[in-house]
Amino acid sequence: MDTRMDAVRKAVAHIQERTSVKPSVGLILGSGLGVLGDQIPGADAIDYADIPGFPVSTVEGHAGRLVFGELGGKQVVIMQGRFHYYEGYTMDEVVFPVRVMKLLGVESLVVTNAAGGVNTGFVPGDLMLITDHIKFFTDSPLRGHNIEELGPRFNDMSVAYTPELRTLAKQVAADAGVDVREGVYAHMPGPSFETPAEIRMLRTLGADAVGMSTVPEVITAAHAGMKVLGISAISNMAAGILDQPLNHDEVIETGRMVRDRFVGLVKAVVEAM
Ligand code: HPA
């Protein structure tokens, strides 16, 4: 038996003693989008700190709790605050909540983030459905002994971002009159924002957006056979595109600006799932 799965099972047992919600959809919400977790009437919220084995989040603007309840007629679990590799967590810690979700019965994962725009046709405030990703600067969360009960050693990544969920999201967005882009998300380790040369490289490689999250969780979800919808809010143009420095305040500020549109889209998509 894999000791990592022992820890996951302990966390799951603890959670199941505290909520009767049986989530089929999991949501991981990035900077500023955690508000969705505050909009679930009668939710059961469990602080990460109270769940055995759960890492505790350290980033400003990220609460740290799991919220269980009903959204759009679905039983959901919402991660309010995620774990980033740059915070110093191991990859196992970063993806621990995804494995917990899998064992709780989650079939579809909605992952959101704030990202820098690499595609020069984008503007801050754009929403981008993630079609695919690029990751080669960080370890895979699947490195090491494979957890056979979750998935195969060499898992397919050719449709990690489930096309049907993207089609659904596009329909829902069109019905609501919300513009969405599509593109490739490049994962960078951070915590520094990238250099202009790195951004030019990423563009040459086919990236449309860049960020420091999401990809470890998506790899883990794909390995475990979960469906995935990824959505980025473009919070700033990536380094070197505009003649201005980057800062985290801008990321938070644009997050606020797009929040209602973003949350509305996520809610409508979950309802349509
Ligand atoms: N780079 C990396 N991560 C980010 C950015 C960026 O420009 N904006 C928001 N998250």
- Residue 194 sits in a domain whose CATH number is 3.40.50.1580
Would 56 be classed as within a structural domain?
yes
In 116-143, which positions are buried (b, 16+ CB within 10 angstroms) versus exposed (e)?
Answer: bbbbeebebbbbbbbbbbbbeebeebbe
Q: Please, what is the Cα angle at 174 between 25 and 133, to 5 degrees?
A: 55
Would 9 be classed as within a structural domain?
no
What is residue 31's predicted lDDT score, i.e. its pLDDT? 67
Q: How many angstroms does the Cα of residue 48 sit away from the middle of ligand 1? A: 25
The amino acid at 121: G
What is residue 111's predicted lDDT score, i.e. its pLDDT? 97
Q: Residue 143 and residue 90: Cα distance in Å, rounded?
A: 11
pLDDT of 133-151, one tens digit each?
999 888 999 999 999 999 9
Is 241 a residue whose pLDDT tops 70? yes
Whether 182 is catalytic is no
Give me the half-sphere count of Cα atoms (radius 13 Å) on the Cβ side of residue 179.
Answer: 8
Computed over every residue of the chain, the mean pLDDT equals 92
Q: Is residue 145 classed exposed, middle or buried when 0-12, 13-18 and 19+ CB atoms within 10 A define those classes?
A: exposed
Would 74 be classed as within a structural domain?
yes
Would 15 be classed as within a structural domain?
no
Would 10 be classed as within a structural domain?
no
Q: Which residues have CB under 6 Å of ligand 1? A: 114-116, 188, 193-194, 210-212, 235-236, 238, 246, 251
Would 49 be classed as within a structural domain?
yes
What is residue 163's predicted lDDT score, i.e. its pLDDT? 97
Which residues form the domain of 31?
23-272
Would 161 be classed as within a structural domain?
yes
Q: Which residue has the higher pLDDT, 167 or 37?
A: 167
Would 199 be classed as within a structural domain?
yes
Number of domains in the chain: 1
| pLDDT classification of 253: cutoffs 50, 70, 90 | confident
Whether 155 is catalytic is no
What is residue 36's predicted lDDT score, i.e. its pLDDT? 86
| pLDDT classification of 60: cutoffs 50, 70, 90 | low
Instruction: Please state the separation of Cα 108 from the chain's center in Å.
Output: 12
pLDDT of 87-104, one tens digit each?
999 999 999 999 999 999
